[in-house]
Structure 1
Amino acid sequence: MSEAVSEEPAVEESLQAFIGTLRDSVTYRKFADASEQLEADEEAQALLEAYQKKQQELQADEFDSSIMSELQELQTEVSNNDTIQQHQAAQEELVTLLKQTNDVISEQIRQEFAQSLGGGCC
C-alpha cells in the first residue's frame, strides 16, 4: 500500500471496507467463479492459447490468407465456447461496475479519480 494511504487511517479503513464490499458483490463473485471455471476448462484454455498463438503468427509474418482463415475459424470456436463467453460476460459486468464506481468517486471529489497522468519518473 502506498505511504499516502497508510498515513490516513480513516482512508485506509474505508478502502478496506470498500474492497471487502466489492469482493462480496454478486458481480465480483460471478467474475471470480467464471475465472475459476475458465482456468479449469482445459478445452477452453487450449482454444485461447491456439487463438493467441495464431494472432501472433499473423502479426509476425506478412499477410497470409491461410493464417487469417485459421484465425477466423478459431475466433468462431472461441465465440461458441460457453466457458469463454461466460467469463467474458462476467468480466464486462465487473468492468462496468468499476467504471460506475469510478464515476461516483470522480463526481464526489470533483475531478477524475482513476485518471492516468501518463509518463514516468524520468
Structure 2
Amino acid sequence: MSEVHSGEQDIDDKLRTFVQTLRESETYREFVEASNALENDAEASALLREFDEKQQQLQRDGFDQSIMGELQDLKSEMADNDTIRRHQVAQDALVELLQETNDVISEEIGHEFAQSTGGGCC
C-alpha cells in the first residue's frame, strides 16, 4: 500500500471517528431531539410557516407597514413558543460547536478550513 493511500485511509478513519463523536455529543443529540419536537409540534410549525410566508410576501411586494406589524406579532409568538425556543437554543449551540471545531482544524492546517466560496451549485 502506498503512503498516499495509507494517508488518505488515515484521514477517512479520523473523519469517521470525528463524525461518530459529533453524533454522540450532547449538543448534537439535543439538536436532533429539538428538531424532532419541532417537526411534531403543529402549532410551532404553523407559526414558522406563517412567518416565512409573511417574510416572502414582504420581499415580493415591498415594504408594507401592516405586514411588518404581522411579522412583529409572529416573532413575539415564536419567542413565547417553548418548542421553537428550545430548537433555536439547540441550533445555536450546535453552530457554536461546529465553529469551534472549524477553528481548531483551521489552526492545525494553517488556513481557514470551512471557508465559504460563495454561490451555490447552479
Task: Give TM class, smaller chain.
Answer: 0.7 to 0.9
RMSD: 2.0
Structure 1 segments unaligned to the other structure (5+ residues): none
Range with bigger deviation, 67-76 or 84-93: 67-76
Q: Which residue of 1 aligns with 2:78?
A: 78
Q: Deviations over 1:9-67 (max 9, x none)?
A: 11111100100000000000010000000000000000000111111111111322111
Structure 2 CA distance for aligned equivalents of residues 58 and 89 of structure 1: 27
Q: Deviations over 1:53-109 (max 9, x none)?
A: 111111111322111111111111011111001000000000000000011111111
Range with bigger deviation, 88-97 or 106-115: 106-115
1:113 corresponds to 2:87: no
Q: Which residue of 2 aligns with 1:55?
A: 55
Structure 2 CA distance for aligned equivalents of residues 120 and 51 of structure 1: 25
Matched length? 116
Structure 2 segments unaligned to the other structure (5+ residues): none
Structure 1 CA distance for aligned equivalents of residues 119 and 83 of structure 2: 37
1:78 partner amino acid: M
1:14 corresponds to 2:40: no
Q: Which residue of 2 aligns with 1:25?
A: 25
Pick closer, same or farther for the CA change 1:19–1:53 going to 2, 3 Å: same
Q: Which residue of 2 aligns with 1:44?
A: 44
Secondary structure at 1:8 match in 2: helix
Q: Which residue of 2 aligns with 1:92?
A: 92
Structure 1 CA distance for aligned equivalents of residues 64 and 111 of structure 2: 47
Structure 1 CA distance for aligned equivalents of residues 63 and 119 of structure 2: 34
The Cα shift of 1:110 comes to 1.2
Range with bigger deviation, 31-40 or 103-112: 103-112
- TM-score of the pair, normalised by structure 1: 0.88
The Cα shift of 1:116 comes to 2.4
Secondary structure at 1:114 match in 2: coil
